[in-house]
Structure 1
Amino acid sequence: MATDPADLTATELLAGYRAGRLSPVEATEAVLARIERDDPRLNAYCLVDPERALAAARASRERWRGGAPLGLLDGVPVSIKDVLLTRGWPTLRGSRTVAPDGPWTEDGPSVARLREHGAVLVGKTTTPEFGWKGVTDNPLTGITRNPWNPALTAGGSSGGAAAAVAAGMAPLSIGTDGGGSVRIPASFTGLFTIKPTYGRIAHHPASPFGTLAHLGPITWSVDDSALLLDVVSGFDSRDWSALPPPATPYYGRPPLDLAGVRVAYSPDLGHVTVDPEVAALAEAAAEVFAELGAKVERVDPGFDDPVEAFETLWFAGAAKVVESLDEDALALLDPGLRQACEQGAAHSASDYLAATARRMDLGRIMGRFHEEHDLLLTPTLPIPAFEAGRETPEGSSSRRWTGWTPFTYPFNMTQQPAASVPCGFTRAGLPVGLQVVGARHEDALVLDACRAFEEARPWKHHRPVPA
């Protein structure tokens, strides 16, 4: 086990609190020291509030001393992506067009649940402007970098969240995912995440990207994500589409015997060009599922790339974000975002409905697919991390981030649970993720299968070394 509290998982911290070996104040001080040391080169946080964090940690310490912790995460440091409302802190969404003076008097549903369970909120993590793309840089706070190699991107749009967790700058983070935005950075930074079934985590205010937008945890372990998911899942009256809490907790479930679980492995979805190193690591990971007893079959789900439909939906949402801005404010936007907004604004209602029909057809295809296959495995991304500050890797045939994320956005369109588990490293030492997709509402199965893989091929103590 790590000796620096900043390198412990949330479940390890909680075990230390229960045993009296560690206090929330020590854990929070360690995280704040790590932020002070490493965030200047990584730029994962856009706001850090040591005074409030330490006050919350001291209150938690007294509750633990009295044998009455407030909830499931009492005293655990957590970061919040800066698109989620957080009482007392501005939510600027990476944009110079948002006034910082507020008032900021309301918590979003997930943030409210974290407070109710005693989590120590450390600060807010960076996002591309309004969360619009799969890397993390913006005109307000600059470029967020990858702890495994700061010359490279951490991914996005929850890149700050992932960089913070990977560098030990808080063991838990909550992010959003509208086209891969927790899975992309988790894959690039060697972390676990799950985009749960749409509605599992309530969201307020409603995303302008509509029902593509999910929330999800980013953590070092499956158990940490399961625990965080238990805390933030459930109904909130502010979200008309929120699901009720799961029937049983995700955390603490008995180990899953994969014998007989029907697993489809699709190395390329039938249409994706994949980096050879990524392909080899994903293939080896699929073989682990077979070694654990699953019935693994190489098969594609049977759909063509839905990128045109996704971009119609996504960029229309982007246009909605900025529709009230005047020309002076529009000039302050990320140039790529402004281009995407112009593209989205050019779509007609008929275009949007056609894209929605394509989305519904994709959902039908996957619904039938899961009648024969419990899980679908793919690479999370076709490439490892690339140069920071770019929307696309050098030489890309696409000018938009959707050109290199073909494994992730289809499952936002279908609203299915999709996780990314670390499955190895390239020769250059860069993490690679395996995507594990389940049928809608089969979040528990996805988590259980990922936990079985984690036990067979543990990853949580493979940490980046500061340069």
Structure 2
Amino acid sequence: MTDLAELTAAELLEGYAAGSFTPVDATEAALDRIEAHNTALNAFVLVDRKSALASAEASAKRWQAGETLGTGDGVPTSIKDMFITAGWPTLRGSTLIDDAGPWDADAPCVARLRENGAVLLGKVSTPEFAWKGTTDSQRFGATGNPWDPATTAGGSSGGSSAAVGAGMGPWSVGTDAGGSVRIPAAFTGTVALKPTFGMVPMFPASPFGTLAHAGPMTRSVGDAALLMDIVTGFDSRDWSALPTPTTPFTEGLEDGIEGLRIAFSPTLGFGKNAPEVERLAREAVTVLESLGAVVEEVDPGFADPVEPFHVLWFTGAAKVVAAYGPGALAKVDPGLRAGIEQYADASAQDYLDATAVRMDLGVHMGAFHQQYDLLVTPTMPITAFDRTRQAPDGWGSDLWTSWTPYTYPFNMTQQPAASVPCGVSDDGLPVGLQFVAARTQDRLVLRAARAYEKGSGEKFTRPASVPAKQGTA
């Protein structure tokens, strides 16, 4: 029999419509995966089995009556523990937050999922206040990778990627202010989209301000498009929310990339890749060429904006920690504290200078996309490493931005960017390929990602079940 935990959301919805199985069957399969593997992976920080099964039973009745609520009706779903969720605590990986609540409101994406009948399984892990590219916190510990639980799932949406990759529900919603859906997608062989800023409304506002995006994390590009159709839409609580899209993200998904002008930049001009990452990215580019795209190897021509990014990042982090009162800084993740202290003397002029660099970068990339429809890079220059470390062994710096050079620049510019799997290294760990387009060209990113996924034989879009080898939670 089909293992329902291995199916995509689209396949589950087809099965519900055909009467082959029900949302209760799919929810029980996801809950069974959680029970079997969460001790090793530490993806979920809260599981509400009773509520999930009640939601699934209600969905099954709607399917039977032909009265479904929307696209996601009955799909088992996890929520990153950065999104407020009515009835559940949102602890953000921090010991500073009291779990007493009240927890009486939904973030926009959570509200849209409920309205569509999604089955909410629980909350998944994040580092404290989603501040870094690995997922570990003093409150909940480290999250492991379904391909090897001893390695990191990436971050900050590592709980989402580990859950999706391990079959603990086919999709999740994460946040990305510097790579936080794309980093874990690359490390876990899953799919993620960082939409154009404002496409998915956010409330409360992120401490990282206009760097922070919300987006889908899935096992297929088709599911990412389906989930975008659910979680997008204007919400008055977000002052920067874009108007509700009028065209489904699933429309045109299969149109291919023939004739598109693609710039392939293996390093953006300042990164350095592990040999296997470089090889697999170049092999992926040959697939794009075979599909009719016109590919040119060219760097986009900007310097690494990491220092201005740090100013924006850590001044935002300082603000959120300060809200918890005197002495709060001494209680947070030591790496977060060190970053905040390093930039404690940043002035208003420093912030404005960093913003100026950001604006210039946006202008530069706007001009770049007049010549090229898409920019393609490796998502990450490395594969996943030890989940107890902040960087690979022998790396020059423990700061997460030192090993994520291809993600944070596109938070500075607010462009849409997706990560899709493009192979597995010799040591059995996934590698991701990143597609970037001009602002508001989210459908183009999804279309190109889908063309590659289909053209590569979809070999890597379904991560294997959690391997027999187990890590420690």
Shared fold (TM-score greater than 0.5)? yes
1:165: how far off?
Answer: 0.3
CA displacement at 1:330 relative to structure 2: 3.0
* Equivalent residue number for residue 213 of structure 1: 212
The equivalent residue for 1:77 is 76
2:73 pairs with 1:112: no
Asked whether the 8 Å contact 2:165–2:188 carries over to 1, the reply is: yes
Matched with 2:340 is: 341
Q: Distance in 1 between matches of 2:292 and 2:428?
A: 30
Report what 1:143 is aligned to.
142
Whole-Å separation in 1 of the counterparts to 2:345 and 2:465: 44
Partner of 2:392: 393
Between 322-331 and 275-284, the greater mean CA deviation after superposition: 322-331
Q: Give the CA deviation at 1:234.
A: 1.3
Structure 2 unaligned blocks of 5 or more: 469-473
Corresponding letter in the other structure for 2:135: T
Partner of residue 46, structure 1: 45
Amino acid at match of 2:315: A
Match of 1:466 in 2: 467
Counterpart residue number, 1:282: 281
d(CA) in 1 for partners of 2:147 and 2:302?
Answer: 34
Matched, 1:189 2:184: no
Contact 2:253 2:443 in 1 (8 A): no
Cα separation, 1, equivalents of 2:48 and 2:184:
24
Could you tell me which residue of structure 2 aligns to residue 19 of structure 1?
18
Find the counterpart in structure 1 of residue 297 from structure 2.
298
Q: Which amino acid aligns with 2:417?
A: A
Residues in 2 aligned to 1:325 and 1:258: alpha-carbon distance in whole angstroms: 49
Residue 331 of structure 1 and its aligned partner are, at CA, apart by 2.9
Shift in Å, 1:464: 4.0
1:333-372 equivalences under 5 Å are: 333-372=332-371
Query: Which residue in the other structure is 2:373 paired with?
Result: 374
**Is the Cα contact below 8 Å between 2:190 and 2:463 reproduced in 1?**
no
Distance of aligned partners of 1:436 and 1:254 in 2 relative to their CA distance in 1, 3 Å threshold: closer
Read off the aligned partner of 2:22 and give its amino acid letter. S
Q: Which residue of 1 aligns with 2:161?
A: 162
Kept in 2, the 8 Å contact 1:317–1:344? The answer is no
Match of 2:8 in 1: 9
SS in 2 for 1:312: helix
Contact 1:268-1:378 within 8 A present in 2 as well: yes
Q: Is the CA contact (8 Å cut-off) linking 1:318 and 1:344 kept in structure 2?
A: no
Q: Distance in 2 between matches of 1:292 and 1:152?
A: 34
Relative to structure 2, which stretch is displaced further, 84-93 or 325-334? Answer: 325-334
Equivalent pair of 1:162/1:191 in contact (CA under 8 Å): yes
Give 2:47's aligned amino acid. Answer: V
Return the TM-score normalized by structure 1: 0.98
Provide the C-alpha distance between the structure 1 equivalents of 2:334 and 2:326, rounded to a whole number of angstroms: 13
Residues 315-334 of structure 1, C-alpha deviations (whole Å, 9 max, x = no match): 11110111133454333211
Deviations 1:126-183 (A, max 9, x none): 0000000000000000010011011110000000000000000010100000000000
CA–CA distance in 1 between the matches of 2:329 and 2:270? 37
My pick for the range that moved more, 306-315 or 319-328, is 319-328
1:255 corresponds in structure 2 to 254
Q: How many residues align?
A: 466
Greater RCO (CA < 8 Å, at least 6 residues apart): 2
CA-atom RMSD in angstroms: 1.0
**8 Å CA contact 2:160, 2:173 repeated in 1:** yes
Conservation of the 8 A alpha-carbon contact between 1:165 and 1:219: yes
Report the CA distance between 1:397 and its aligned residue: 1.3
- Which amino acid is 2:12 matched to? L
Gaps of 5+ in 1: none
> What SS does the corresponding residue of 1:408 show, helix, strand or coil?
coil
**Within 1, Cα distance between the matches of 2:462 and 2:139?**
33
SS, match of residue 328 in structure 2: helix
Q: Which amino acid aligns with 2:310?
A: E
Whole-Å Cα distance in 2 between the matches of residues 454 and 257 of structure 1? 11
Distance 1:157 1:462, change over 3 A: closer
Following superposition, the deviation at residue 399 of structure 1 comes to 2.8
For residues 282-325 of structure 1, what are the alpha-carbon distances to aligned partners after superposition, in whole Å with 9 as ceiling and x for unaligned?
A: 01111111110000000000001000000110011110111133
CA distance in structure 1 between the partners assigned to 2:463 and 2:392 by the alignment: 26
Distance in 2, Cα, partners of 1:292 & 1:243 = 33
- Asked whether the equivalents of residues 8 and 219 of structure 2 are also in contact (C-alpha less than 8 Å), the reply is yes
Distance of 1:112 and 1:348 partners within structure 2: 38
Letter in 1 for 2:56: A
% identical aligned pairs: 61
Equivalent residue runs for 1:163-178 within 5 Å? 163-178=162-177
Matched residue SS, 1:345? coil
Partners of 1:38 and 1:184 in 2: CA distance:
22
The Cα of 1:465 is off from its aligned counterpart by 4.0
- 8 A contact 1:173–1:219 mirrored in 2: yes
